[in-house]
């Protein structure tokens, strides 16, 4: 039990502190123990910064856990992986096909306790990509769409990017607006000539002409939206705004300009 609350007036325990002692004694701790724990917690300082972005690598039908991160070397032979093991730098073991990951095991977290009761790949994919078991009554949004809905766009960069495409049916928006769907790069970034299409204006269209087109479209949409309301129309407006932001944003174009990154950075991301 820990608290960040200072103890009492002028350093003396107050009434609530004595009540707290009663709780602590029930779990075998004295007030002195609690104070030492509180001091140790204060010395640890504030937690490190939270991750601003995350990469989900989803292997649909990929390697088994017993051949990768959970080879179960001490289990009966029928439960073990067939490919052997390699020792990690933390003393644990991974599958023998992961020697480089084994060398940096102290920098990653491996969760072996997660499981689900779905026997079919399709239902399992739904469970993993949405966090929910499939239901005939509702279509759940993917984790990427939830992130897009909760956090929104940052620095004109789409909050949910799918590489190379958004082909999996469970990577969609579910019951959320389709405006929170993934931005698909439409190609394989490891290809030498990879580029995200349509991030630059066509040669015959300058910024002034694009702004005039945008103004005209907005006036037409404003009139039409008074006559018709639907999620599809609202989502289309969102698509247009995102497209304009991407085309007009230098930071967005630079973010997707993979060729500008040095080889060592590209190699780190495969």
Q: CA dist 256 to 22, 104, 167, Å?
A: 59, 28, 20
**Which of the two residues, 270 and 106, has the higher pLDDT score?**
106
Residue 3 in domain:
no
Residue 267 shares a structural domain with residue 141: yes
Asked if 166 and 172 count as a contact pair (C-beta separation under 8 A), the reply is yes
Cα(138)–Cα(146) distance, rounded to whole angstroms?
15
pLDDT at 50: 79
Residue 121 in domain:
no
Please state, as a whole number, how many other Cβ atoms lie within 10 Å of the Cβ of residue 265: 10
3-state SS assignment for residue 130: helix
What is the rounded average pLDDT of the residues 186-194? 78
Residue 62 shares a structural domain with residue 40: no
Q: Domain total for the chain? A: 3
Residue 49 in domain:
no
Q: CA dist 52 to 49, 146, 259, Å?
A: 9, 15, 23
Residue 61 shares a structural domain with residue 40: no
**Which of the two residues, 255 and 229, has the higher pLDDT score?**
255
3-state SS assignment for residue 124: helix
Residue 65 shares a structural domain with residue 199: no
Lowest mean pLDDT among 3-17, 71-85, 127-141, 169-183: 3-17
Q: Binning pLDDT at 50, 70 and 90, where does residue 27 land?
A: low
Residue 59 shares a structural domain with residue 39: no
Closest Cα partner for 103 from 90, 122, 116, 120? Answer: 90
Residue 136 shares a structural domain with residue 251: yes
Q: Which residue has the tokens 């579910």?
A: 174
pLDDT at 36: 66
H helical segments located in 64-154: 99-102, 121-130, 143-151
Residue 168 shares a structural domain with residue 95: no
Q: Binning pLDDT at 50, 70 and 90, where does residue 80 land?
A: confident
Supply the pTM of this predicted model. 0.65
Residue 176 shares a structural domain with residue 234: yes
Lowest mean pLDDT among 29-33, 54-58, 175-179: 29-33
Closest Cα partner for 237 from 222, 250, 253? Answer: 222
Residue 40 shares a structural domain with residue 61: no
Domain residues for 38?
9-44
Cα(157)–Cα(249) distance, rounded to whole angstroms?
9
């Amino acid at each position: 039990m820990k608290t960040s609350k200072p103890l009492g007036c002028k350093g003396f325990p107050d009434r609530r502190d004595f009540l707290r002692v009663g709780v602590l004694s029930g779990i075998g701790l004295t007030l002195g123990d609690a104070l030492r724990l509180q001091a140790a917690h204060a010395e640890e300082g504030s937690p490190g910064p939270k991750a601003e972005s995350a990469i989900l690598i989803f292997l649909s039908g990929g390697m088994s856990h017993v051949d990768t991160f959970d080879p179960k070397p001490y289990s009966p032979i029928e439960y073990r992986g067939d490919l052997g093991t390699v020792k990690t730098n933390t003393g644990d073991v991974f599958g023998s096909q992961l020697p480089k990951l084994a060398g940096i095991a102290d920098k990653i977290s491996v969760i072996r306790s997660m499981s689900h009761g779905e026997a079919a790949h399709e239902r399992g994919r739904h469970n993993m990509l949405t966090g929910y078991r499939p239901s005939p009554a509702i279509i759940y949004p993917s984790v990427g769409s939830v992130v897009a809905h909760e956090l929104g766009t940052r620095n004109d960069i789409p909050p949910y990017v799918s590489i190379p495409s958004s082909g999996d049916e469970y990577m969609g928006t579910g019951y959320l607006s389709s405006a929170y769907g993934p931005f698909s790069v439409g190609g394989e970034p490891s290809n030498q000539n990879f580029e995200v299409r349509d991030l630059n204006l066509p040669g015959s269209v300058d910024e002034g002409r694009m702004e005039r087109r945008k103004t005209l479209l907005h006036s037409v949409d404003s009139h039409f939206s008074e006559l018709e309301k639907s999620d599809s129309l609202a989502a289309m407006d969102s698509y247009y705004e995102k497209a304009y932001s991407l085309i007009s944003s230098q930071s967005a174009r630079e973010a997707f300009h993979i060729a500008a990154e040095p080889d060592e950075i590209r190699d780190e991301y495969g």
